[in-house]
Amino acid sequence: MAGGRPALTPLVWGYIALVLAFLYVPLIPPILFSFETGGGAGALRWYAQIWRNPILTSSMLTTLKIGIAVALAATVLGLASAMAIRELRAPRLVLLLMLLPVFIPGVSMGLATAFFFRQLGLAPSLLTIAIVQVLWALPFATLIVLTAMSSFDPVYLEAAYLSGANRRRAFLDVELPLIWPGISGAATFSLILSFNETVRTAIVQGPYNTVQTYIWSTYKQIGLSPTLYALMSLLILLTLTLVAASLLAGARRAASLRAE
Amino acid sequence: MRGAALRWAFLALPIAVVAVFLLAPLGLMVWMSFWERAGLLVRPAFTLAAYYDFFQGARLSVLERSLWVSLEATAISLLIAYPIAYFLAFKARPSATRAVLLLFTVPFLINYIIRTFAWTYLLGRTGPVNGALTALGITQGPVDWLLYSDVSVLVGLITSYMPFMIFPLWMSLAGIDRRLLQASWILGAPPAATFWKITLPLSLPGVFAAVVFGFVGCFGESAVPIIMGGVGYQLMGNTITSTLDVLNFPLAAAMSSIVVAAMLALLGLWYLAFDIRAFLGKIVRWRA
């Protein structure tokens, strides 16, 4: 079955390249517009302006705090749900439940949780924002940990039990190190999803701003500006850096495994 | 014994989190859609006023437009994504497949709102698309229907939701047992017949998952119609946020409940009609 008609293959690659170009071209304009035209020493003027705006620096700090909280919480929950899917009696149902947040539109999720917190008397806070973002990241974290677990042979656990390890020791000493790439991948993915979330956050944000909600509310009130483009460029670069870092870590790990 | 209890608590934690912070809020939202307004507040009641308001008013056309736009965007996305997923699953080398899937992950990760802002420039009167059309002599001058129209909304929705649709499609196609395809070939079926009778039916769980994700995402999308639709372009999503802005909570809850009900109906159908085990067979080791 391999190969197919060879004449067709370059055509398909061309088609894939075209679709990818369609997806990547929109990353260029924000970066172009974030520089001051005329060039020279003032080219980074709008980036410098970001640091002088106290609302923006505090929203950056908020973004960072929430991002770290979401990455930690979603990863631990993702690990727990992957283990639950493996060990509980109704794996399909647990999996469907964990995947549910992906299928719920952002507006509905934001609105439902905002109502819910209001009825509970919980004022909007970093915690409520983090809860909504953890739910959004959870399906992806679960799938990534599941993928890592599927390449882990449970025979190693049996071996650990036979050597006298209890469940906790066997998990910590044998399984966890082997599925670690999945754990760190889930954390990185959750961090990136948190940095890039707008719609859900904008409904539950209250008086707090993340960089994304700042961009969105400023756009709706006064429109786009070079400062907003500078912020978008920073977010794009940050996301690309995180993806590259996690790829490099994976490649280094694979290389060290080969060396052993 | 304490260890075992802790272990159960750990396994039950994510289920509890989803139940408390997602299922309960969604239930509350549906319940609230039957409440009545009392000035700026809402009061528990059982009234169909919000639904009556929605189905009687001009907003019904919003529902109709949302359905159409979401169907179109999902169908086009599927037509774009399926051949790519098929090629990656059956024809490309594993290393190439991994690289291409990664390239589709990155745009999905970068906030689609930022990507959609860029399209307002690319498709605008002074943007490069109009510039190229004019320079090549295809149009006499810049065309207006590229931006703030159904076309631009479709572009925004497709570029937002299509990248992720590749993944369920690829997963279900890659999970197909190759021996079935070989058997079909040995029995003399031409490639087209093998595709229509074996590959396509076996990939339906992935197709359906991609369709539910794309359709419901587009149906409830709130940012793209605001950015790409221009003034007065309303889909369900941004109508819900503008209803929230005027504090008509029961109406917002009612519209949101309609979106979520559509999602649950599709997802339930998916769950009943297909075996997720076949679909996720590559990444989950199921208990016997």
Of the segments A45-49, A190-194, B60-64, which one has the largest average pLDDT value? A190-194
Lowest pLDDT segment from A39-53, A157-171, B249-263: A39-53
Judge whether residue B77 has pLDDT over 90. yes
| Residue pair B129/A41 in contact by the 8 Å Cβ criterion | no
Q: Band of the pLDDT at B215, cuts 50, 70, 90?
A: very high
Q: What's the pLDDT at B140? A: 82
- Chain A residue with minimum CA distance to B286: A86
Judge whether residue B74 has pLDDT over 80. yes
Q: Do B14 and A98 touch (CB under 8 A)?
A: yes
Judge whether residue B253 has pLDDT over 90. yes
pLDDT digits (tens, 9 = 90+) for B80-91: 999 999 999 999
Q: What is the ipTM of this complex?
A: 0.88
The better pLDDT of the pair A43, B200 is held by B200
Give the N- to C-terminal CA distance of chain B in Å, as an integer: 27
The arithmetic mean of pLDDT across residues B159-178, rounded, is 90
Residues of B with CB below 8 A from A166's CB? 3
Q: What's the pLDDT at B4? A: 81
pLDDT digits (tens, 9 = 90+) for A224-250: 888 899 999 999 999 999 999 988 988
Q: What's the pLDDT at B283? A: 67
Residues of A with CB below 8 A from B114's CB? 26, 30, 215, 232, 235-236
Residues of B with CB below 8 A from A111's CB? 29, 240, 244, 252-253, 256
The arithmetic mean of pLDDT across residues A13-37, rounded, is 91
Residues of B with CB below 8 A from A77's CB? 13-14, 17
Task: Measure Cα distances from B95 to A79, B48, B100 in Å.
Answer: 27, 56, 9
Query: Most A CBs within 10 Å: which of B76, B110, B181, as the mutation test of the A interface?
Result: B110
Judge whether residue A130 has pLDDT over 60. yes
Q: Do B25 and A116 touch (CB under 8 A)?
A: yes
| Residue pair B221/B235 in contact by the 8 Å Cβ criterion | yes
Q: Band of the pLDDT at B288, cuts 50, 70, 90?
A: very low
Residues of B with CB below 8 A from A115's CB? 25, 28-29, 32, 249, 253
pLDDT digits (tens, 9 = 90+) for A35-91: 877 666 677 888 888 888 899 999 999 999 999 999 999 999 999 999 999 888 888
Nearest CB among A2, A86, A112 relative to B285 is that of A86
The better pLDDT of the pair A207, B145 is held by A207
Q: Band of the pLDDT at B200, cuts 50, 70, 90?
A: very high
Query: Most A CBs within 10 Å: which of B62, B111, B212, B270, as the mutation test of the A interface?
Result: B111
Q: What's the pLDDT at A3? A: 46
Q: What's the pLDDT at B49? A: 85
- Among the listed residues B202, B195, B214, the one whose alpha carbon sits nearest the alpha carbon of residue B275: B202
Q: What's the pLDDT at B152? A: 92
Q: What's the pLDDT at A2? A: 45
Q: What's the pLDDT at A150? A: 83
The better pLDDT of the pair A165, A19 is held by A19
Nearest CB among B244, B267, B280 relative to A103 is that of B267
Contact residues for B23 (Cβ-Cβ < 8 A; gap 6+)? none
Lowest pLDDT segment from A152-156, B116-120, B265-269: A152-156
Q: Do A107 and B222 touch (CB under 8 A)?
A: yes
Q: What is the distance between the alpha carbons of residues A79 and B45, in angstroms, rounded to a whole number?
A: 41
Of the segments A2-11, A37-46, A81-90, A112-121, which one has the largest average pLDDT value? A112-121
Judge whether residue B120 has pLDDT over 70. yes
The better pLDDT of the pair B125, B214 is held by B214
Q: What is the distance between the alpha carbons of residues A234 and B237, in angstroms, rounded to a whole number?
A: 28
Q: What's the pLDDT at B286? A: 59
